[in-house]
Amino acid sequence: MSDQALSPAPRSAETSHPPLPETHFIRPPKKRGRRLFNSLQPWLFISPFIIIFCLFTLFPLTFSVYLSFQEWNPVTGLSGMNYVGVQNYVEAYDDPWLWKSLYNTFWLAIVSGVPQHLIAVPVAYLLVYAVRSSLRHVLTATMFIPFITSTVAVALIFYSIYSANTGILNQMLLGASKLPLIGALFAWVPDVMPIKWLTKSDLIKPAIAAVVIWKYTGFNIVIYSAGFVTVPQDVYDAAKVDGCNRLQQFWHVALPMIRPFIFFAMTLTIIGNLQLFEEPFILTSGDTGGVGQAGLTTSYYLYLVGWEWLEMGAAAAISWILFLIIAIATSIHFYFNGRKGMEGNR
């Protein structure tokens, strides 16, 4: 085939045909309407999305930028707004509870984030290579259930698990201390009972982190299982020929091959964990972040400022500060891991 056949029809072709009678072709008013319709058609089809996006995403986004430079108690109505310049940002800078909340946010992001992946990667590897595929699907689905369960339900269940006097966790620890063989390991338990998981400031964060790990590890297992499935068998065969054992295959073959998946899952964890809200909110009963604000995350704090203290301007400023911090954290992650992380796609 010649090059010409692939390119648009040459001009000469137009002239070579005899022109059709004009009446067939030109009906000026209708044609114009139709052309307009044709050009608008695609927009029409995507308009539901565009309208919803503008109403519920674009408008609130731009409005919150505007709001962050205002002082506004929402109950005074829209006319109650006062322009205050950057005051909200300046005040946020020396707000002790905001700093506390940022510390808590990062603490929780790291402590509840890292174990998710340390557990999910080996579990996914075992699921893909050591379990029959029919069973694997059942197991993966089971581990995915916490992720799709309502956070409110999860947090409420954990709330009663952690209950100091009647919670099952403390009861199990007490029970363990009475067992014959391992009892010695738990000998310290009766002395510290009841352990107040949710009302001691140094226990609140670990208690919240445990819930987050439990809830989101299954999601990462699904991502990593999908990743391990993509690794071709012949790479392992080649490694075996070179004398790699199972562990070496995992470390030197499987792990590097799923790098893009690790990168993706980590990105989601960083963004999600820095926005943690429901788990700490419910576990501390919505009560200014628990004792000593130990469970007060930044999302939680901006909710408190906006909805409990009715300072929407200050809350908007805090939300943009949080956005900036998430953006920076994600960029750092991209800078250090991005190039390697994306490698698998090339």
Binding residues (CB under 8 A) for another protein: these are 73-78, 80, 91, 94-97, 160, 163-166, 196, 199-201, 285, 287-288, 291-293, 304, 307-311, 314
Q: How far is the CB of 178 from another protein (least distance, A)?
A: 22
Greatest Cα-to-Cα distance within the chain, rounded to the nearest angstrom: 102
Q: How far apart, in whole angstroms, are the C-alpha atoms of residue 251 and residue 230? A: 16
For residue 209, what are its two tokens? 């982190």
Q: How far is the CB of 96 from another protein (least distance, A)?
A: 6
For residue 238, what are its two tokens? 């080649």
Q: Cα dist. 104→116, 187, 204, 273, 285 in Å?
A: 18, 31, 10, 11, 17
Q: Which is nearer to another protein, 163 or 337 (CB)?
A: 163
Q: Cα dist. 139→133, 256, 271 in Å?
A: 10, 25, 27
Q: Which is nearer to another protein, 261 or 301 (CB)?
A: 301
Of 119, 301, 340, 78, nearest in space to 209 by CA: 119
Q: Which is nearer to another protein, 95 or 337 (CB)?
A: 95
Q: How far is the CB of 308 from another protein (least distance, A)?
A: 6
- 307: how many CB neighbours lie within 10 A of its CB? 12
Q: How far is the CB of 332 from another protein (least distance, A)?
A: 31
Q: How far is the CB of 76 from another protein (least distance, A)?
A: 5
Backbone CA torsion sign across 182, 188, 193, 195: negative
Cβ neighbours of residue 203 under 8 Å, at least 6 residues apart? Answer: 195, 196, 197
Q: How far is the CB of 165 from another protein (least distance, A)?
A: 6
Angle formed at CA 286 by CA 284 and CA 291, multiple of 5 degrees: 45
